[in-house]
């Protein structure tokens, strides 16, 4: 409980003070809402436009979740493949890097042209942005198994499959979870960026499209409201994945241990 | 039991080991381990004593010479300097590992794991994680893991070097008790003269550059708590220290 208070009270105080200062600043200087709305105006917009914003949130969320799931499954699968042989890793790792360093904004238009289904195209874009941390971390983890434990299993006559399941996979878990936490945020960013590029209207529109739309209509408070929803979603994803990490590692990994003074 | 009469378990003849980086770890190494012995390999660091142990275990290839077992290769237990436990697994699951690799179902293995834990004084700690144990208890878990596979020969690579003296003495006594009751053959690597004299029936003193056995000291197997304080023990430690000094000069 004390831990919880220490963790959440200071940032919450900062938030409250910051929002208050913002509101006061906007009112004092009589800044028009179409330049910078105050928090109150943004909350009003959020409530008023909830009926359009909420379905958009679900669209963005679905793409993010789908991309993260694909990044996890394919990322781990690729890492396992890399871990099977040094040659496979050396041959294909550079291409994973190339996919990672190419800005998604630059390839998103191509993908949107090639893939007919917009949702699938967005999913692919978000996946490209988010899969790399999982691949690189999990590969590192699979290759970081304690050598003496490997020797021990060899001594007991374990086969490759047993070494993999009993030793390499569990010792890669903290590395994988570290990658997953980064990928969670990146999946959301990838989804939003791809939505911006796609800019598609209609019922399948995510939050990024709502921001664009509100911009055209000079509905700046609604723009902020959508922006806050994206940020809130990102924070929520981070908290959720941190919780998962903590639950998985709390009994044995240094990172989840409290340091006793 | 006098070692002279016991049959040889494993014999190394003219063994040579050159690592891939060109370091010659061993050259012209001869040694025979007989059944039921407690042999210590004593020497300064870098004399290749751990390398000998790894070669006996079959971890690594010989660069020259021969290594022969008396019959079919025996079940080997190996205890490293670190406990080398899986941090993500409970003590029970760590000790269960050798049996799990062999495909023994959990339910069938449970009594054997429990017995091994009892033998090393870890009864009731099955659900604990390695992190939650002290250094000495982790080492006990490591010994229990090698016990559970019922090895014929136990190879120990400076297993107690990282422990405090009080814990080390207690583990020394417990190890001797297990050795007597399990009828093991033990090959024990150490750089401590006192530890080797206390534990062994035979000490092989090794020298470095290149590593080989320089001399051999036979000891009476007669151990109890009073032995540590006896004049005999002090005398034997003096003898072995002198031999070690010779080996390091040569």
Looking at beta carbons, which residues of chain B come within 8 Å of A151?
54, 57, 59, 78
Within 8 A of B97 by CB-CB distance, chain A residues are 152-153, 156, 166
Confidence at residue A261, expressed as pLDDT on a 0 to 100 scale: 52
Q: What is the mean pLDDT of residues B122-135?
A: 91
Query: Which residues lie across from B213 on neighbouring strands?
Result: B206
Q: Does pLDDT of A203 surpass 60?
A: no
**Cβ distance of A148 and B84 shorter than 8 Å:** yes
Q: In what order do the strands lie in the sheet with B76-79?
A: B76-79, B153-157, B185-190, B38-42, B202-207, B212-218
Distance CA A200, CA A205 (A): 7
E strand intervals along A148-223: none
Tens-digit pLDDT profile for residues A35-61: 999 999 999 999 999 999 999 999 999
pLDDT tens-digit profile of B181-195? 888 899 999 988 888
pLDDT confidence band for B28 (50 / 70 / 90)? confident
Find the residue in B nearest to A152 (Cα).
B78
**3-class SS of residue A244:** helix
Q: What is the average pLDDT across B161-187?
A: 86
CB pairs A-B closer than 8 Å = 55
With contacts defined as CB-CB under 8 Å, which chain B residues touch A158?
A: 101
pLDDT of residue B5: 65
Among A189-198, B23-32, B211-220, where is mean pLDDT lowest? B211-220
The β-bridge partners of B41 are: B189, B204
Residue-wise pLDDT tens digits, B58-99 = 888 888 888 888 876 678 899 998 899 999 999 999 999 999
Instruction: Tell me the pLDDT band of B1, cut-offs 50, 70 and 90.
Output: very low
Domain ranges, ordered by start, for chain B:
7-74+152-249, 88-151
Question: B141, B91 in Cβ contact below 8 A?
Answer: yes
User: Is A43-250 a domain of CATH 1.10.3720.10?
Assistant: yes
Option in A155, A157, A170 nearest B86 (CB): A170
* Calpha distance B52→B30 (Å, rounded): 10
Quickly tell me which residue has 């409290």 as its tokens. Answer: A258
CB-CB under 8 Å, A170 with B88: yes
ipTM of the complex: 0.83
Q: State whether A155 and B89 contact (CB < 8 Å).
A: no
DSSP, residue by residue, chain B: --GGGSPEEEEEEEEEEE-TTS-EEEEEEEEEEETT-EEEEE--TTSSHHHHHHHHHT-S--SEEEEEESSSPPPEEEE-SS----TTS-HHHHHHHHHHHTT--HHHHHHHHHHHHHHTT-TT-TT--GGGS-HHHHHHHHHHHHHHT--SEEEEESTTTTS-HHHHHHHHHHHHHHHHHHT-EEEEEES-HHHHHHH-SEEEEEETTTBEEEEEEE------GGGGGSHHHHHHHHHHHHHHHHHHH-
d(CA B246, CA B2): 27
Tell me, yes or no, if B182 comes closer than 8 A to chain A by beta carbon: no
- Right CATH number for B7-74+152-249 from 3.40.50.2300, 3.40.50.720, 3.40.50.2000, 3.40.50.300? 3.40.50.300
B36 touches chain A (CB under 8 A): no
B89 interfaces chain A, CB cutoff of 8 Å: yes
CB contact (8 A) between residue B149 and residue A146: no
Q: Tens of pLDDT along A72-126?
A: 999 999 999 998 888 988 999 899 889 888 888 888 888 888 988 888 999 999 9
Peptide bond preceding B210 in cis form (omega within 30 of 0): yes
Q: Check if A167 contacts B (Cβ < 8 Å).
A: yes
Q: Highest mean pLDDT range out of A170-179, B40-49, B173-182, B211-220?
A: A170-179
pTM of the model: 0.84
What integer pLDDT is reported at residue A100 of this predicted model?
86
Contact status of B149 with chain A (Cβ, < 8 Å): yes
- Supply the mean pLDDT for chain A: 90
């Amino acid at each position: 409980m004390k831990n919880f208070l220490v963790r959440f009270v200071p940032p919450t105080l900062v938030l409250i003070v910051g929002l208050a200062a913002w509101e006061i600043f906007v009112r004092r200087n009589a800044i028009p809402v179409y330049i910078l709305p105050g928090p109150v105006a943004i909350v009003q917009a959020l409530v008023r436009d909830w009926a359009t914003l909420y379905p958009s949130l679900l669209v963005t969320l679905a793409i993010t979740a789908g991309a993260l799931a694909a990044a996890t499954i394919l990322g781990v699968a690729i890492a396992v493949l890399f871990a099977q042989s040094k040659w496979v890793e050396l041959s294909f790792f550079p291409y994973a890097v190339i996919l990672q360093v190419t800005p998604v904004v630059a390839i998103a238009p191509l993908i949107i042209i090639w893939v007919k289904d917009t949702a699938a195209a967005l999913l692919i874009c978000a996946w490209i942005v988010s899969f790399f941390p999982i691949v690189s971390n999990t590969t590192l983890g699979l290759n970081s198994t304690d050598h003496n434990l490997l020797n021990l299993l060899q001594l007991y006559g374990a086969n490759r499959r047993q070494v993999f399941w009993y030793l390499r996979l569990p010792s890669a878990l903290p590395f994988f979870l570290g990658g997953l936490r980064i990928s969670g945020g990146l999946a959301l960013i990838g989804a939003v960026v791809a939505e911006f590029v796609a800019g598609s209207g209609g019922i399948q529109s995510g939050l990024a499209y709502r921001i664009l739309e509100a911009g055209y209509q000079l509905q700046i408070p609604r723009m902020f409201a959508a922006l806050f929803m994206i940020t809130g979603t990102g924070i929520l994803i981070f908290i959720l994945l941190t919780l998962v990490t903590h639950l998985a590692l709390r009994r044995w990994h240094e990172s989840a241990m409290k340091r006793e003074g | 039991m006098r070692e002279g009469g016991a049959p040889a378990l494993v014999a190394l003849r003219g063994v040579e080991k050159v690592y891939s980086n060109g370091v010659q770890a061993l050259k012209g190494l001869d040694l025979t381990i007989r059944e039921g012995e407690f042999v210590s390999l004593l020497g300064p660091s870098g004399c290749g004593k751990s390398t000998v142990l790894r070669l006996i275990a079959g971890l690594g290839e010989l660069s020259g010479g021969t290594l022969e077992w008396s019959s079919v290769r025996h079940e080997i237990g190996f205890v490293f300097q670190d406990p080398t436990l899986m941090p993500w697994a409970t003590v029970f699951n760590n000790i269960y590992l050798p049996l799990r690799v062999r495909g023994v179902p959990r339910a069938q293995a449970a009594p054997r794991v429990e017995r091994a834990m009892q033998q090393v004084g870890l009864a009731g700690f099955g659900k604990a994680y390695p992190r939650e144990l002290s250094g000495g208890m982790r080492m006990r878990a490591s010994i229990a893991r090698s016990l559970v596979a019922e090895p014929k020969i136990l190879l120990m690579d400076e297993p107690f070097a990282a422990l405090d003296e009080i814990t080390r003495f207690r583990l020394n006594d417990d190890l001797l008790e297990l050795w007597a009751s399990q009828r093991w053959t033990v090959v024990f690597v150490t750089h401590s003269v006192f530890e080797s004299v206390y534990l062994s029936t035979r000490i092989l003193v090794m020298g470095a550059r290149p590593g080989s056995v320089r001399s051999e000291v036979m000891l009476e197997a007669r151990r109890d708590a009073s032995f540590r304080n006896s004049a005999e023990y002090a005398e034997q430690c003096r003898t072995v220290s002198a031999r070690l000094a010779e080996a390091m000069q040569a």
